[in-house]
Amino acid sequence: MKDTEGVIVTDISPEGAAVDAGIKTGDIIREINGQKILDLGDYNTAIKSIKDENSAVFLVRRGKYSTYVIVKR
């Protein structure tokens, strides 16, 4: 993989909010609420910061395209 920034989705809960938002295995999460995600540490920090909110905006790359999706809790 040439593009090494972000976290690759390897497993997803079938009843989770990510599935409802359209996130799929193989997608790359590049940002959460504007916070750049470079690695798993960044991802975990960003997830912890949205615990009390009702939704979060994810920048997701799928193949050669990127899109923003809203993940509602």
The CATH number covering residue 15 comes to 2.30.42.10
Position 24 pLDDT exceeds 70: yes
User: Would residue 2 count as lying in a domain?
Assistant: no
CA separation, residue 60 to residues 4, 49 (Å)? 14, 18
Range of the domain at 26: 7-72
In this model, does residue 2 exceed pLDDT 70? no
Count the domains in the chain: 1
How large is the average pLDDT for residues 2-11?
Answer: 84
Q: Give the whole-angstrom CA distance, residue 44 versus residue 67.
A: 21
d(CA 7, CA 30): 7
Structure tokens at 31: 């940002």
Is 62 part of any domain? yes
Q: For residue 1, tell me if it sits in a domain.
A: no
Assigned domain for 16 exists: yes
pTM: 0.87
